[in-house]
Chains A and B, each alone.
Chain A
Amino acid sequence: AQKVTQAQTEISVVEKEDVTLDCVYETRDTTYYLFWYKQPPSGELVFLIRRNSFDEQNEISGRYSWNFQKSTSSFNFTITASQVVDSAVYFCALSEDSNQFYFGTGTSLTVIP
């Protein structure tokens, strides 16, 4: 079974629009960690955020914000006022009581100027 589901395969938005990338995870552990990574065309995964299962406080970093809801097992990522440079593939990942990361299949975001 897929531990991390990113149902949106591809999203296109016009520059300056807001966009939300969905992530749903599955785990039986009470302690776990969630991550978002960005993969630009160059291919290198870039860390965006880490959240542990005991901290449901939402986080904002500039134009980026994350909404963690344990009740729905979701960890969604919103980009406000999108820019062309935000175009990339975004991956959500789950880590349980090990060092292994489980990645979703990614959401390809295209921001149209």
Chain B
Amino acid sequence: GAGVSQSPRYKVAKRGQDVALRCDPISGHVSLFWYQQALGQGPEFLTYFQNEAQLDKSGLPSDRFFAERPEGSVSTLKIQRTQQEDSAVYLCASSKLGEYSYNEQFFGPGTRLTVL
């Protein structure tokens, strides 16, 4: 497809379970971003990749959160030992170029994670 895709679209996890969320960026896009959007809030930055390099992970809320993009295309956000406060929509975005902040970010539909 032409846009950013994410899977699964919905995920229900029991507290303590590990989850993995997948993002397929637009082909050829160098930069990839993960955001967390709590209900009624704006997206909050989690982490950023330029190709396979994770250049900024300052937004990851704890060491239970881990992201990777081993071949510079598909990315996976993993959350270990999920907690109820992890319930949110996780958005992935990609942009064409690798530098500067004027690049438009194209967003995927998100994965809605519910932790029971």
Query: Do A and B form a real pair?
Result: yes
Contact surface of A with B, Cβ cutoff 8 Å:
4, 32-33, 35, 37, 42-47, 50, 52, 91, 93, 95-106
Interface string of B68-103 (1 = CB under 8 A from A): 000000000000000000000101010100001111
The distance from the CB of B18 to the nearest CB of chain A, in whole angstroms, is 24
Contact A103 B42 (CB under 8 A): yes
Interface string of B45-76 (1 = CB under 8 A from A): 10010100001101100000000000000000
Task: Decide yes or no: A96 and B106 within 8 Å by CB, A91-B42, A103-B44, A105-B42 being known contacts.
Answer: no
Task: Decide yes or no: A50 and B110 within 8 Å by CB, A99-B48, A104-B42, A106-B41 being known contacts.
Answer: no
B114 at the interface (CB under 8 A from A): no
> How many chain B residues touch the partner (CB < 8 A)?
31
Contact A44 B101 (CB under 8 A): no
Task: Decide yes or no: A100 and B102 within 8 Å by CB, A43-B110, A44-B107, A45-B91 being known contacts.
Answer: no
Contact B43 A91 (CB under 8 A): yes
**Could you tell me the distance between the alpha carbons of A73 and B89 in the complex, rounded to whole angstroms?**
30
A-side contacts of B93, CB under 8 Å: 45
Contact A100 B48 (CB under 8 A): yes
The distance from the CB of B19 to the nearest CB of chain A, in whole angstroms, is 18
B7 at the interface (CB under 8 A from A): no
Other than the given A37-B107, A50-B104, A99-B100, 19 more pairs (CB < 8 A) read: A35-B104, A43-B89, A43-B109, A44-B110, A91-B43, A96-B101, A98-B101, A99-B31, A100-B58, A100-B59, A101-B33, A101-B35, A101-B43, A101-B101, A101-B105, A103-B43, A103-B44, A105-B41, A105-B42
B25 at the interface (CB under 8 A from A): no
Contact B56 A98 (CB under 8 A): yes
The winner among A47, A50, A95, A100 for most chain B CB atoms within 10 A is A100
**Could you tell me the distance between the alpha carbons of A20 and B44 in the complex, rounded to whole angstroms?**
24
**Could you tell me the distance between the alpha carbons of A106 and B107 in the complex, rounded to whole angstroms?**
16
The distance from the CB of A9 to the nearest CB of chain B, in whole angstroms, is 9
- For A100, the closest partner residue in chain B by CB is B45
Contact A47 B48 (CB under 8 A): no
* Contact among A42, A44, A99, A106 for B42, CB-based, below 8 A: A106
